Structure formats: C-alpha cells, structure tokens
Amino acid sequence: MIKKDLKTKFVNLEKVRGSMIFDYFNPGISHILKNSGCEFVIFDMEHGGLSLESFKTLSIASRGVGIYPLIRVPSLQYNFISRSLDLGAYGVMVPMVNNKTEANSIVRFSKYPPQGIRGAGFGFVHDEYKSYKPIDVMKQSNENLINIIQIETKEGLENIDEIAKLDGVDCLWVGHFDLTNFLGVSGDFESKIYKDAIKKVVNAGKINKKSLGIMVSNKNDLEYYDDLGFNIIAVGTEMSILQNSIKNLIS
C-alpha cells in the first residue's frame, strides 16, 4: 500500500531531494538515482513520450529499490491520474493548473470516496499485489498519496492563494521556464517580474503550510531556491546532466 513516509515529509515541509526523468526510461535508472541519494523520482509523461505501460515497469523497479515513484501526467484527465496511481505512483504532478476548480478536480480524481471519485481496483501494483482489506487500502491511499500542482501560467499565479488553500493540494511546484513564457519574460530568471512571481508562490506556500517544489539543473540554483524556501527539489534533465558531466571529463 501507499506508505506515509514521503507524504509526511511533504506535510511537515521537510527538505527532500529527487530527480525528474524525461527520456531514459530504463528500470536501471531507479537504482542509479537511489544510489545517488535521491528519495523520489518523477517520471515525465508531458514531454518525454512515456506510456503508462512503461511507467508500470519503472514504478515496480523504483518501489523495489526503495525510491518513491511519482509521475507527471500530460494533462488534467481522470484516466491519467487514476491509472497512474493504480500503477504504483505515490503521487501525481499535473501541469498548467490555472485555478481552484482545476486543482479541486485533481484532488477528486486522486482520492477514493468520500473525498473523491477514484474508482476502486485492488490487488494491483499500488497495493503490491497483496490482498489487503479494501477499506484499509482506500484509507491509506487517501491519506498518503501526494498531489503536486504545477504553477506555470499567469492565471495559475493569479489564483495561487485559492489553489494553495485547498485540502489535498500537497505541493506547489513552479514550472519556471513556462512561467517566464506566460509572464512575457521568456527565459529571464533575473527579471523582476519572474522574481516577484516566485515570491508570490513562496508566500502562498508559507501561509497555507504547503510544500514548495522546483526542478534545477545545477548546484547554484539548488542552493538559491533552497534559500527561498523551496523544500522539494528535483534535479534534471538527465540528458543535460549526463552531457555536461561527459563534457567536463573530456574537455
């Protein structure tokens, strides 16, 4: 069943480090990330071409080595969210969340009744193919799964306070490049507009006691966002990290 350890860290606003994987969907990546000190891995369906069938394999491998598999679904749809959870995701990240209504739909799609409308199916990856009592499975899943809401549009930023207030929203995750795009300052992370937007997200997280997440590609950015209050940080992309590491070795 869904364990509570990672969810507890999100709720308690503890610092957690992990990785986002966009292209290298090999079961061995879970071992590599675990050995690197990552506590979680977010497998990406939005950009990387990942299928749910492939995610099932990655989820089982991740669980087997003790790293928490999460998934970014491509869009806010019931079948993506519910099936990802059935296939063993400890939580879902949903992109382009614009308002309270959309955020509430994510919560409803991910939770069993009475908190939501997730369909009941047991004996699959999410409960480790074991015959637990269904009521216990549903209760623990509702309590311990993680909903990550991506704030990366102008509308999402404008509605951040209402989104952050919702029960069942566990993490506000800044999609930093898309956020600059929608704010009209593409790729300018030194822009006052972008920095003010980050402050607004951080403030909403602090007031509502929600975890704050972001992806970084280098140590300087990790320390920068850590200092700002982002407690959930993933490194990525794996393509650029591998390429830069090889360049540094052979240059």
Q: What is the mean pLDDT of residues 46-54?
A: 95
CATH number at residue 146: 3.20.20.60
DSSP string, 27-68: THHHHHHHHTT-SEEEEESSSS---HHHHHHHHHHHHHHT-E
| DSSP summary character for residue 91 | E
| Per-residue confidence (pLDDT) for residue 165, from 0 to 100 | 98
- Which residues have CB under 8 Å from 168's CB, separation 6+? 104, 106, 107, 110, 111, 115, 147
In what helix (H) or strand (E) does residue 233 lie, and over which residues does it extend? strand 232-235
3-state SS, residue 237: coil
What is the domain range of residue 242?
5-250
209 to 53, 203, 249: CA distances (angstroms): 35, 10, 42
- Rounded Cα gap, residues 129 and 125, in angstroms: 6
- Which residues, listed in sequence order, are joined to residue 232 by a DSSP beta bridge? 16, 213
| DSSP summary character for residue 145 | -
Average pLDDT of the chain, as a whole number: 97
| Per-residue confidence (pLDDT) for residue 112, from 0 to 100 | 98
| Per-residue confidence (pLDDT) for residue 227, from 0 to 100 | 98
Q: What is the mean pLDDT of residues 74-91?
A: 97
Calculated CA dihedral for residues 230, 232, 238, 241, nearest 10 degrees: 40
- Which residues have CB under 8 Å from 73's CB, separation 6+? 45, 46, 80, 81, 84, 92, 93, 94, 95
Percent of the chain with pLDDT over 70: 100
Q: What is the pLDDT of residues 194-235, one digit of tens each?
A: 999 999 999 999 999 999 999 999 999 999 999 999 999 999
| Per-residue confidence (pLDDT) for residue 133, from 0 to 100 | 94
| Per-residue confidence (pLDDT) for residue 66, from 0 to 100 | 96
CA dihedral over 126, 147, 168, 37, signed as positive or negative: positive
Q: What are phi and psi of 181, to 5 degrees?
A: -60, -50
- Which residues, listed in sequence order, are joined to residue 233 by a DSSP beta bridge? 17, 214
Cβ-contact 45, 58 below 8 angstroms: no
pLDDT band at 2 (very low <50, low <70, confident <90, very high): confident
pLDDT band at 247 (very low <50, low <70, confident <90, very high): very high
Answer whether residue 104 shows pLDDT above 80. Answer: yes
Number of domains the chain is built from: 1
Q: What is the pLDDT of residues 129-145, one digit of tens each?
A: 998 999 999 999 999 99
Does this model's pTM top 0.85? My answer is yes
| Per-residue confidence (pLDDT) for residue 48, from 0 to 100 | 87
Q: What is the mean pLDDT of residues 53-60?
A: 98
Of 22, 54, 56, 57, which is closest to residue 41 (Cα–Cα)?
A: 22
Of 159, 160, 198, which is closest to residue 179 (Cα–Cα)?
A: 198
Answer whether residue 3 shows pLDDT above 90. Answer: no
pLDDT band at 117 (very low <50, low <70, confident <90, very high): very high
| Per-residue confidence (pLDDT) for residue 109, from 0 to 100 | 98
| Per-residue confidence (pLDDT) for residue 5, from 0 to 100 | 96
Q: What is the mean pLDDT of residues 234-248?
A: 96
Q: What is the mean pLDDT of residues 52-78?
A: 97
- Rounded Cα gap, residues 12 and 200, in angstroms: 21
| Per-residue confidence (pLDDT) for residue 121, from 0 to 100 | 94
